[in-house]
Amino acid sequence: MKIQYTILFFLIVIISLAACKSGSNKHPKIAFDNYKIANGFEIQLAASEPLIEAPVAMDFDDGGRMWVVEMRGFMPNLAGTGDDAPNGRISILEDDDHDGVADRSVTFLDSLVLPRAISHVYGGLLYTIPPFLWFVEINNNKPGKRTLVDSTYAEGGSPEAQPNGLMMNIDNWIYSANAHYRYQLRDGKWIKEPTSFRGQFGITKDNFGRLYYNYNEIQIAGDYVLPNTLINNPYFKPKVGINELLTQDQRVYPLHPTTVNRGYAKDILDKDSLLVNVTAACGPLIYRGDRFPDDYNQNAFVCEPQANLVKRDILTFAEDKTIAVQAWNDREFLASTDEGFRPVNLFNGPDGEMYVVDMHRGIMEYRAFTTPYYNSGIAQKKLDTLLHAGRILRIKSKRKEVGKIPDLTSASGTELVSLLKSSNGWIRDRAQQLIIYKQDKSVVPELEQLANDSNNFTAAIHALHTLEGLHALSFEFLKKVAALGEPMLTAHALLLLQQYSAGNNVKAMEALATDLLSKNNPVINLYLALSLGAWNEVSNGAFLPILEKISKMYPDKGLYPEAIVSSLKGWENNFQKIISKAAPQKSTILDTLLAETIKNKRDGKMNSIFVQVKTPPDARTNGLAIFRSTCATCHGLDGDGIEHVAPPLKGSEYVEGSPQRLAMIILNGLEGPIHMNGKLYNFNGTMPNFANNYTDKDIADVIEYLHNAYVTKPVKSIHVDKIKALRNTKSGTLREQDLLEMDNLNN
């Protein structure tokens, strides 16, 4: 018997040690000797393989644990075959001894096809597996009841061109990159509402609530104003203030030559074969933690996985614009000679540090867009064999100890209100969400007191929107907060006041607007112009004189006229008469915008984000589906083009001209620069060839749809047999000279 117990004891010890070893990630053999980071910072490993593989996004729960999205199926080989395998998952990383390094990985959801984003909201998890957007309850680390939020959230397109991000903003709305809808759960119902199209992969915000994003070859873009403030007029499409390029400087400073998709093209690489400008910018972050030096507060950071680096930009905020300047003109914040280092996303942490999601995968270009040059380089370096890896890095300042990760799961309402004053943006955001989720009305007096503190306007803004989420605001209270005159706080109060636009509040609002206008503050005046549209609707245009005064104050600043036109919403003709009497001989930016909006209304031409596309009942149905899934991601849903990405299709001689030439463009791809209707479009991106992606009939359907949607005069159709013959006419990406030589193509 004693021998049996002894054997049993040793068996238990062996099994325990084996289990500990297989689940342990305490001493991974990962060194950062070939990484270079800015002075005063250090890289720490937070998680790595084998616990995670191909991470693309992450979030922290209320207890501070990391949740990671693993896109394990992305490009498993150069051919891209098998990318539809249901092998993606969402994992919870457990740090048992609280030393900052994950010890265990617990699978929350698996058997997912290319998952791409998550967000801890409303006590559960919002996540997307294209084309669906789901919300799932969390029960003891296991998925509970699932709710389908949107069945068309990420329809069609490649993994590089589908909505992602799922970021809760200070206004209690959830925003995505590469999308034109926002979401909110209110009174038990999910609300889906149009918003402006923004970016490609990754989305972030500043302390004020403005949004930032990027495009592959644009490192940082953003909005000058708070979201959905410039789109109140359905017949007006803003030209400034949204989707703004924040810097012309796209330069990168990699430590070594890397394999990039169009490295063969002119000016992509320098004489030392180093990448010159960003080519795969993604995962931007506005740092809102409290552990970095003060001069890093609200800096922008951007991933460039193709060059194995993370950039840093210093933001400067003016009343009507935001400007980004690279922190250094000869180096990066973080760079590596490890070509497996693939930073794809950045996040603020509950400890005040910055987290880097390193996909750590060899192939980073989707199969529809890869060039032979890229495939050859990847194969030569055997990067296509770099699979089954992935890391989360924590970036820490050497000047401060790592911040303590708070456990908010049992925080009281009063404690959460106090946390709205935290210097750590992540903590403020989550405290706001938790108060709203719990619907704890007992803290309303504390929130009201905090919202009136103009000396801490950041906390006051959080308090305002927390009260909004509790349905605890009133016209009188918001009027009082707005009257404080702190520009940022007043701006939010003015926007929230719109929901109380009613006849019995008009006189009080007129008095408030007049008083605020007398302060002569550019930020307050801007948000007055943005917010008075709702009041005009209930007052028979009583606020038009205030808008006129604002127009006279800023006649040459494009954002102010746009704000005014956005607010008019049906009062354009009346306002046009008012300003014509004031300055009958002078033509201004405002005059032009008014004329365009009046014409759009007469022609029934709405801002495309408000238009529900109806599928035509013929062959164009397939063309439309292909257009929306493939073409619209660069050319826009309305064919007006997307700034910094691709030129418009409307009015293009290449759409209206020879259908053979158009077919050749679709079959072979097109590389800029290119002139269109006399205007030079100097975009650096290359339209990929779709010869291997679509059949001859598909291409014919797309052309038929384009002709139907964007050509006003009769155009000859093209037969499927002609497209089949054209497939062998030209190989290789087309340039403008090739198109000019095709001018005389005939059926």
Give the N- to C-terminal CA distance of the chain in Å, as an integer: 94
Name the burial class of residue 74, with classes exposed (0-12), middle (13-18) and buried (19+) by CB atoms within 10 angstroms of its CB: buried
Residue 584: the pLDDT is: 59
Q: Is residue 74 over pLDDT 60?
A: yes
Residue of 199, 181, 178, 198 whose CA lies nearest to 190: 181
How far apart CA 401 and CA 557 sit, in angstroms, is 45
> How many other C-beta atoms are found inside a 10 Å radius of the C-beta of residue 381?
15
Give the span between the Cα atoms of 240 and 44, in whole angstroms: 41
The Cα-based distances of 526 to 319, 441, 491, 713 in angstroms read: 8, 33, 8, 42
- Per the listing, tokens 């706080």 go with 489
Confidence of residue 2 (pLDDT cuts 50, 70, 90): very low
Average pLDDT over residues 431-445: 97
C-alpha distances (whole Å) from 145 to each of 16, 32, 115, 226, 525 are 35, 42, 19, 34, 46
Rounded average pLDDT over 436-440: 96
Specify the pLDDT at position 18: 33
Segment (H or E) for 43: strand 41-48
Rounded Cα distance between 333 and 283, Å, is 15
Q: What are the CA-CA distances from residue 480 to residues 363, 454, 526, 729 (Å)?
A: 56, 12, 19, 71
Least confident stretch, 15-24, 519-528, 549-558, 640-649: 15-24
Tell me what pLDDT residue 717 has. 83
Above 60 in pLDDT, residue 679? yes
CB 398 within 8 Å of CB 40: yes
State the pLDDT at residue 585. Answer: 58
The overall pTM is greater than 0.95:
no
Per-residue confidence (pLDDT) for residue 157, from 0 to 100: 66
pLDDT for the residue 742: 81
- Cα separation, 623 vs 554, in Å, equals 45
Would you say residue 11 has pLDDT above 60? no
- Return the beta strands (E) in 62-155 as ranges: 66-70, 88-94, 104-112, 117-121, 124-129, 132-139, 142-150
* pLDDT one-digit tens code per residue, 79-135: 888 888 999 999 999 999 888 899 999 999 999 999 999 999 999 999 999 999 999
- In the prediction, which pLDDT does 486 show? 96
- If one compares 155 and 34, the residue with the highest pLDDT of the two is 34
Instruction: Give dist(CA 662, CA 446) in Å, integer.
Output: 63
The helix/strand/coil state of 89 is strand
Domain 18-397, CATH: 2.120.10.30
pLDDT average, residue stretch 599-625? 73
- pLDDT, the chain, mean: 90
Q: Tell me the per-residue pLDDT of 183-200, one tens digit each, with 9 for 90 and over.
A: 999 999 999 999 999 999
Task: Give the pLDDT confidence score for residue 704 in this predicted structure.
Answer: 85
What is the DSSP track for 487-521? Answer: HHHHHHHHHHHGGG--GGGHHHHHHHHHHHHHT--
> Is pLDDT at 350 greater than 80 in this prediction?
yes
Give the type of residue at 85.
A
The pLDDT value recorded for residue 6 is 39
DSSP reduced 3-state for 352: coil
Which of 35-49, 242-256, 573-587 shows the lowest mean pLDDT across its residues? 573-587
696 or 677, which is more confident? 696
Work out the percent of the chain whose per-residue pLDDT is above 70: 92
CATH number attached to the domain at 613-741: 1.10.760.10
Please write down the HEC assignment for all residues of 386-434.
Answer: CCCCCEEEEEEECCCCCCCCCCCCCCCHHHHHHHCCCCCHHHHHHHHHH
User: What pLDDT shows up at residue 614?
Assistant: 44
Helices (H), 208-247: none
What does the pLDDT read at residue 644? 75
- SS3 call for 356: strand
> So what's the pLDDT on residue 613?
52
Query: In the predicted model, is pLDDT for residue 12 greater than 70?
Result: no
Q: How many beta carbons lie within 10 A of that of residue 405, not counting itself?
A: 21
In this structure, of 48-52, 76-80, 231-235, 282-286, the range with the lowest mean pLDDT score is 76-80
pLDDT at 731 over 80: no
508 vs 505: CA distance, rounded Å: 6
Q: Higher confidence at residue 139 or residue 2?
A: 139
pLDDT in tens, 328-338: 999 999 999 99
Nearest to 22 by CA among 101, 104, 100, 138: 104
How far lies 544's CA from each of 228, 329, 379, in Å? Answer: 21, 48, 65
pLDDT at 380: 96
Mean of pLDDT values over 713-721 = 81
The tokens 């002709």 sit on which residue?
707
What pLDDT score was predicted for residue 117?
Answer: 97
User: Quick check: bond before 234 cis, omega within 30?
Assistant: no
Q: Is the pLDDT of residue 561 over 70?
A: yes
DSSP secondary structure code for residue 613 in this structure = P
